[in-house]
């Protein structure tokens, strides 16, 4: 009876409080990700990783007097809470050789820690750079979409802790409708650069955690055309067949031509 | 305290003042501090201006992709697997075409040693040996890693059995053993073809731009590299005068020369790590050592006297083996460099990249007024 669930992260509502980061770390008992001063606005986390499953981005632009915040004229400072996208077609899931990464009944992509063997092939297969291998533990980790909480009928920790409902959790279908309504609303209010980041027209086939951002998604480190890399495997195997053919035929010809020596 | 030892503060209009641009600038800063009005930006401290997210800089140039997390074992594994796979193919065809028994014997040895080393290297990368078995609980045709694991697992026993049969046959005799060697040898050659090529698919079918954009040529490139290394290792075992192996060596180094030329002539942004930085040096060195250098040495050997010819072949073989290893190391390193380049997955044009010092437009006006200070 479970429905496919999703996250809608609305950066026009985010206040950059990082409650989601804290809640995620506390609930999932994740380690620290270093006490480093990045100098990149107020973001000292940098990126998602094996111990960072929610990450608030601080997208800072050149300040301009009279503009700022969520003024329609200029987004001088926007925040966006990043998370595993739980792709409709997931690169990590396709690449995983152990079957550790599975699709759950909630439609999310889940790494079973008791099966992951730490081959780290998912790390290079993720088009968003989300999943990472913990070098001490050896295995790969990423957002579980709070599979444990969802099993118990609870909302994920980050969405629960979000004070502005910037992180919305619910049925994927309903969230998609809501996201489009929200975009229309923002456009009506003059924020014409508000977009919904959900690459449905690539091999990823859409996300289960999509984002409303303002301006070019590339400044949020969101790729314009993410592709799941395993779609290139067919092409690769074709060249492998050519390479193997060359190897076999070449060896045979040389040995036939070389005679007994 | 004597008043005279302290430097006297200069006043505007003072004849002693050095009206150089820098001194004028200091006066300007002082007057700006007094009035509290800054008319223009001055000297920028190191690291300034404050980094900003933009379409040209992405998210503060933080790499979007994660770097590969393989340890040193993996490029070595690519090298050993390629050489051993090619050796298994050579062994089988040598046996089938009735080549010298020593060639078959030594090629089977290389294949068997390689087939034991490869899973050992993989296990070493995983850390916990039993973790290797987790990969054998499923078969996923869409995952090159999964397909590869079965190639490795098939190659190992086949190559070892073929070697054992070959050993027993050389130290005794038996028609059954010959049949057994042929059967296991055939399997090891089949898996060997996979060993020599699949690693190209493995790294090609990833999100790492430099690997992904070369997926069409990587398996062929790696097959040629493996063939070169396998044949060279065989020749180093005392088969410098084998005509068949020399022909194969020339073919492999010719192929690698062409692959290298193709890469050098492909001007796409994703290929930058193959040409610049440490990864570029390693890849290019590997390319020369496995392509043009052994090709020239082998061609020279074809026209040299016998003793000289042997030396040249040995030199060519050593170069090819080193080149093959460096090629794999270079490609893996290039993957690291590629993942660290924030521009490629975000499709940011390389030409747009401003240097950190000239990031903002404001600096242009600074430069116009204070040419010295802007260059620091």
Tell me the ipTM for this assembly. 0.92
A212, containing H or E segment: strand A209-214
Interchain CB distance below 8 Å, A243 and B243? no
Mean per-residue pLDDT, A108-128: 95
Q: Which two tokens stand for residue B141?
A: 């045709």
What 3-state DSSP class applies to A52?
strand
Q: What are the pLDDT digits (tens) for A152-207?
A: 999 999 999 999 999 999 999 999 999 999 999 999 988 888 999 999 999 999 99
Kindly report the pTM of this predicted structure. Answer: 0.86
Q: What is the torsional sign of CA B351, B352, B356, B357? A: positive
Q: Band of the pLDDT at B306, cuts 50, 70, 90? A: confident
Tell me which of A45, A47, A119, A225 to substitute to probe the interface with B (most B C-beta atoms closer than 10 Å): A119
- Whole-angstrom Cα distance, residue A228 to residue A202? 9
- Whole-angstrom Cα distance, residue B376 to residue B372? 7
Interchain CB distance below 8 Å, A117 and B126? yes
Task: Report which of A7, A23, A5, A6 is spatially closest to residue A163, judged by C-alpha positions.
Answer: A23
Q: What are the pLDDT digits (tens) for B153-208?
A: 999 999 999 999 999 888 877 778 888 999 999 999 999 999 999 999 999 999 99
Interchain CB distance below 8 Å, A125 and B335? no
Residue with tokens 């650069």: A193
Mean per-residue pLDDT, B122-130: 89
Q: Band of the pLDDT at B1, cuts 50, 70, 90? A: very low
A contacts of B335 (beta carbons < 8 Å)? 124
B-chain residue closest to A128, CA distance: B65
Q: Which two tokens stand for residue B325?
A: 């290893």
What 3-state DSSP class applies to B18?
coil
C-alpha distances out from residue B317 to A198, A251, B86, Å: 53, 17, 15
Cα distance from A147 to chain B (closest Cα, Å)?
22
Q: Which two tokens stand for residue B38?
A: 């800054």
Q: What are the pLDDT digits (tens) for B6-51?
A: 666 666 666 665 567 777 778 888 887 887 776 665 554 455 556 7
Mean per-residue pLDDT, A21-40: 89
- Whole-angstrom Cα distance, residue B131 to residue B160? 23
B-chain residue closest to A100, CA distance: B134
Tell me which of B38, B41, B53 to substitute to probe the interface with A (most A C-beta atoms closer than 10 Å): B53
C-alpha distances out from residue A109 to A87, A102, A122, A176, B299, Å: 8, 6, 12, 19, 56
A contacts of B97 (beta carbons < 8 Å)? 252, 255-256
């Amino acid at each position: 009876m479970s429905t496919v669930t999703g996250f809608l992260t609305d950066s026009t509502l985010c206040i950059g409080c990082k409650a989601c980061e804290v809640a995620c770390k506390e609930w999932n008992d994740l380690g620290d990700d270093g006490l480093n001063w990045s100098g990149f606005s107020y973001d000292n986390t940098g990126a998602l990783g094996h111990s960072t499953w929610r990450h608030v981005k601080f997208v800072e632009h050149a300040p301009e007097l009279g503009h700022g915040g969520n003024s329609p004229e200029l987004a001088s400072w926007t925040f966006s809470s990043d998370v595993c996208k739980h792709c409709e077609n997931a690169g990590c899931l396709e690449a995983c050789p152990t079957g550790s990464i599975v699709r759950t009944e909630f439609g999310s992509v889940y790494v079973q820690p008791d099966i992951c063997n730490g081959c780290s092939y998912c790390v290079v297969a993720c088009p968003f750079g989300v999943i990472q291998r913990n070098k001490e533990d050896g295995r790969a980790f990423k957002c579980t979409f709070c599979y444990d909480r969802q099993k118990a009928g609870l909302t994920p920790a980050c969405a629960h802790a979000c004070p502005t409902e910037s992180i919305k959790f619910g049925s994927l279908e309903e969230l998609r409708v809501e996201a489009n309504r929200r975009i229309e609303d923002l456009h009506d209010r003059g924020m014409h650069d508000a977009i919904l980041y959900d690459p449905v027209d690539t091999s990823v086939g859409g996300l289960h955690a999509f984002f409303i951002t303002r301006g070019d998604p590339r400044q949020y480190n969101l790729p314009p055309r993410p592709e799941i890399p395993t779609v290139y495997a067919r092409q690769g195997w074709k060249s492998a067949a050519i390479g193997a053919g060359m190897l076999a035929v070449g060896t045979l010809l040389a040995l036939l031509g070389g005679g007994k020596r | 305290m004597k008043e005279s030892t302290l430097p006297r503060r200069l006043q505007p209009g003072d004849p002693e003042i050095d009206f150089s641009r820098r001194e004028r600038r200091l006066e300007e800063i002082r007057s700006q501090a007094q009035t509290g009005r800054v008319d223009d930006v001055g000297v920028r401290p190191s690291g300034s201006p404050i980094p900003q997210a933009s379409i040209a800089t992405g998210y503060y140039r933080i790499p979007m992709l994660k770097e590969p997390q393989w340890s040193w074992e993996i490029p070595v594994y690519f090298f050993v697997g390629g050489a051993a796979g090619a050796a298994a193919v050579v062994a089988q065809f040598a046996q089938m075409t009735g080549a010298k028994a020593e060639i078959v014997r030594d090629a089977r040895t290389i294949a068997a040693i390689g087939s034991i080393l490869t899973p050992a290297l993989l296990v070493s990368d995983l850390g916990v040996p039993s973790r290797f078995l987790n990969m054998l609980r499923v078969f996923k045709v869409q995952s090159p890693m999964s397909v590869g694991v079965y190639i490795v697992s098939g190659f190992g026993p086949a190559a070892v059995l073929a070697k054992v049969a070959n050993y027993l046959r050389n130290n005794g005799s038996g028609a059954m053993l010959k049949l057994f060697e042929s059967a296991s040898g055939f399997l090891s050659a089949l898996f060997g073809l996979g060993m020599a090529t699949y690693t190209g698919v493995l790294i090609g079918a990833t999100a790492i731009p430099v690997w992904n954009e070369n997926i069409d040529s990587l398996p062929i490139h790696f097959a040629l590299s493996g063939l070169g290394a396998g044949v060279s290792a065989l020749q180093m075992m005392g088969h410098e005068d084998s005509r068949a192996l020399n022909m194969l060596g020339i073919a492999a180094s010719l192929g690698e020369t062409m692959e290298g030329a193709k890469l050098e002539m492909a001007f796409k942004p994703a290929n930058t790590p193959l040409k610049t930085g440490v990864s570029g040096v390693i890849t290019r060195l590997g390319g020369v050592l496995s392509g043009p250098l052994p090709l020239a040495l082998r061609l020279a050997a074809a026209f040299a006297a016998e003793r000289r010819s042997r030396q040249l072949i040995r030199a060519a073989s050593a170069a090819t083996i080193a080149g093959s290893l460096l090629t794999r190391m270079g490609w893996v390193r290039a993957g690291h460099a590629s993942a660290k380049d924030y521009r490629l997955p975000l499709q940011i044009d390389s030409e747009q990249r401003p240097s950190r010092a000239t990031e903002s437009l404001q600096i242009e006006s600074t430069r116009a007024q204070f040419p010295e200070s802007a260059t620091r």
